[in-house]
Structure 1
């Protein structure tokens, strides 16, 4: 019998004037007839689906929709296990429900509160701005209404694209079989030629008394029924800083407890500038400390016991304790041992090569991947490219280098490429040139906002073509600023190219085109005027 090539769905084969078969479409491969087609159709029915996606977040949904467009039959399994507080949400994953989207909306709410006070300086007549306060319930309702609308649109889109959505918690029975545990506890078995793991992760809780009973995480903060009040944020990664930033901006007394360093994995000079700026806004920092226990008092408030670097125990009372101490990949729940799927011992993540796990027909995208950026656009792009390779004859692979990101702290921090520390570690200090400058955003002048933390840094090779390795920006709308420069970095931007670029005046983004002072020179990087 002829060797068969899988031919994707819904291509109509014609013989002169007559339709012969309705068979899968796409792959530009020789068509097979007679016994070959019969055999093909038999193998086609071997599995229920061409692709089953475990996880209805950004990466999994992107892969599912792309695969369907290319003719594959696809199912998505998604189920949200409620948090210890009981919080749950709909289809769409972390980003839509308890991540990027609600975070950015609450960040914007805090910025608007700040803008109300600035407006007075610009001539707006606002009765007693000092009396303005946030209505937490109104904000929470507005944010959740938007999230629910996205949940609905996502479900409708899957239905329109003929992706089967199964609200079940999936795990591996064997290499081609997934068991989906439904809400009522029953199991539904489905089979697939290929399986994509896109389950993402969930926040960690510390192993201390009272943490799970009384603490919350970012999975809960965006839908809290009551105002968070005085809040302790444990953890100084980007999630901790962002949550603390918008809570402080809304007028809540906020403290960040830092175990070791601020923004691990980011440029540390930039990280410390972000922390200094937040402290000046009123965020309290407790350094080199960790919580020991949480007790609920008779009045409902939380008594937190914490230990400093010298082992001394301290206490304070808070209304809310939010843990932002990292996330764990939801891979062990998949019962990977049933298919021999290898996980990284320390993290439980998957060390995949081009999204291919050690099991030939099992793939992974998103936050479950070992040492890959845990960012929504990364998961989306990787998912689409994988689907094209599986079902569209593509060979394009995901490039995980020079991925831009932004920390939505009150004064935002955007970056792309290497940090100063990473560049020195990779190339040696003598081969690196660091250009930097403080700057004064025009919009800060009239309300007399503090400009001392507005800062840009360009990390480049000192010799040869002076290729830029990293760009870092602290200031308003940092995400919007850094996005365009990320494209330039992907195109091997050099420092001479950057300097030959004409900036748009007066913008903050133009500061990158004006930077010329090196750290090595020892010159003062503080400007004398807005145009210096």
Structure 2
């Protein structure tokens, strides 16, 4: 078939790819983008957006229960899973159409096809069409990884399939301890499923602050989620219409569904990286420099496929910076430090900066401020739940170098706190801000008493 020429060819129409494509086009580049599945990528189609909608749905159960303490009389609530999924699908279709319209408005040519590298300066579509491109951007994201190939792995679903189940499982085992695992544990538990979370590590949310990990685990267990750490799923057996999960210690757990949320891998298989000479990093992602360029000049990569910080806003920022630098004559380097993040568990987690353990290793003097309290809303509701706030402070400069929140709206709070931390605000400056009362957020500016202080001599 006849060859075509473009200035930029983007492989993958997720958040990072779409942003790069439209910004590059706005700078005058001729841009083509290929997507083999649905425009929007992981976040919009099978990730953070549909997940957040299911999180909202799962919270109504407690809202209905709590209403009685505030004088509301509500009949027995009834939940319908197919209605939720149908409404979710309709919203995702709307967002996909909006993304597609954006590409059209910016005159980006969209091809619904798989595309692979065909040498350093070209890509080939599934129908054999070869496209020459001065610049190529790989933005194919990540894909769920189940880990060990255990007996019965064919019965296991990932988060991809969880969004499209025909019925809500009465009993489900979820293996994993990260974002996706704890979020779906809260979703299914809130919607009425009996949930068992299995994780090989000593506690959930590895890499987060230890106080956060312990607090969230306690809160999840209060909500009826069974958490088994230090074990793995060894096999999944089918017994009629029922599945039986065999754990590594021999325990057998009968369930309706088994979901693995054991991590995601960069989606690099079959992209033709070897053909073009593109190298991978030790972490399995495409190796890139600070400007997102790969080992081959003219080929770039952004987002989860690079396995740097696998968050949608990071992919968007990387895609925008790439387009401004390469096509807009405005060099931009993305700062990957102090990136705020949220876990939409129940309750939510919001964090930015150093954990207590990281700070103790990195700094000479560390001051810790923390508090735990019952949210005001829970008082009349009679709910047994507590929020947790923690500030990590550089004891020499007084800078707030870490903030960790577990509680309602933690994600919203950490976005705002992130501004202060990024601006290198000090604890004294936090303290100088007048509190807004009564709010949970006022705890950020009223913590005065140190919970812990560490000091060490400078290294010789």
TM-score category of the 2 structures, normalised to the smaller one: over 0.9
Give a deviation string over 1:75-130, Cα, whole Å, max 9, x none.
111113xxxxxxxxx21001011111111111111112211111111111212xxx
Which structure 2 residues correspond to residues 350-429 of structure 1 after superposition, within 5 A? 350-370=287-307, 372-428=308-364
Which structure 2 residues correspond to residues 228-247 of structure 1 after superposition, within 5 A? 228-247=169-188
Which structure carries more relative contact order (alpha carbon 8 Å, separation 6+)?
2
Partner of 1:223: 164
Work out whether 1:58 is the aligned partner of 2:15.
yes
Q: Find 1:459's aligned residue among 378, 382, 392.
A: 392
Alpha-carbon offset, residue 208 of structure 1: 3.0
Alpha-carbon offset, residue 210 of structure 1: 4.6
Partner of 2:43: 95
What CA distance in whole angstroms lies between the structure 2 residues aligned with 1:351 and 1:517?
A: 44
Checking the alignment, whether the CA contact within 8 Å between 1:53 and 1:64 is kept in structure 2 is: yes
What CA distance in whole angstroms lies between the structure 2 residues aligned with 1:216 and 1:402?
A: 33
Q: Counterpart of 1:282 in 2: which secondary structure?
A: coil
TM-score normalised by the chain length of structure 2: 0.95
Work out whether 1:254 is the aligned partner of 2:190.
no
Alpha-carbon offset, residue 59 of structure 1: 0.5
Checking the alignment, whether the CA contact within 8 Å between 1:352 and 1:369 is kept in structure 2 is: no
Alpha-carbon offset, residue 476 of structure 1: 0.4
Alpha-carbon offset, residue 133 of structure 1: 3.5
Give 5+ residue unaligned stretches, structure 1. Answer: 1-45, 81-89, 523-532
Work out whether 1:117 is the aligned partner of 2:65.
yes
Which structure has the larger Rg?
Answer: 1
CA RMSD of aligned residues (A): 1.6
Which structure 2 residues correspond to residues 161-176 of structure 1 after superposition, within 5 A? 161-176=106-121
What CA distance in whole angstroms lies between the structure 1 residues aligned with 2:167 and 2:87?
A: 14
Checking the alignment, whether the CA contact within 8 Å between 2:288 and 2:294 is kept in structure 1 is: yes
Alpha-carbon offset, residue 424 of structure 1: 1.6
What CA distance in whole angstroms lies between the structure 2 residues aligned with 1:156 and 1:135?
A: 32
What CA distance in whole angstroms lies between the structure 2 residues aligned with 1:495 and 1:102?
A: 37
Give a deviation string over 1:465-496, Cα, whole Å, max 9, x none.
31111111111011111111101111111111
Give a deviation string over 1:318-361, Cα, whole Å, max 9, x none.
10100000011111321211111110245244343321111111
1:125–1:58 Cα change, 3 Å: same
What CA distance in whole angstroms lies between the structure 2 residues aligned with 1:268 and 1:238?
A: 15
What CA distance in whole angstroms lies between the structure 2 residues aligned with 1:348 and 1:462?
A: 37
Q: Find 1:142's aligned residue among 81, 87, 91.
A: 87
What CA distance in whole angstroms lies between the structure 2 residues aligned with 1:320 and 1:248?
A: 13
Which structure 2 residues correspond to residues 131-530 of structure 1 after superposition, within 5 A? 131-181=76-126, 186-260=127-201, 261-298=203-240, 300-308=241-249, 313-370=250-307, 372-428=308-364, 431-451=365-385, 453-463=386-396, 465-520=397-452
TM-score normalised by the chain length of structure 1: 0.82
What CA distance in whole angstroms lies between the structure 1 residues aligned with 2:70 and 2:79?
A: 22
What CA distance in whole angstroms lies between the structure 2 residues aligned with 1:281 and 1:153?
A: 37
Alpha-carbon offset, residue 212 of structure 1: 4.1
Checking the alignment, whether the CA contact within 8 Å between 2:290 and 2:333 is kept in structure 1 is: no
Checking the alignment, whether the CA contact within 8 Å between 2:290 and 2:334 is kept in structure 1 is: no
Q: Counterpart of 1:156 in 2: which secondary structure?
A: helix
Give 5+ residue unaligned stretches, structure 2. Answer: 455-460
Between Structure 1 and Structure 2, how many residues are aligned? 451
What CA distance in whole angstroms lies between the structure 1 residues aligned with 2:58 and 2:429?
A: 37
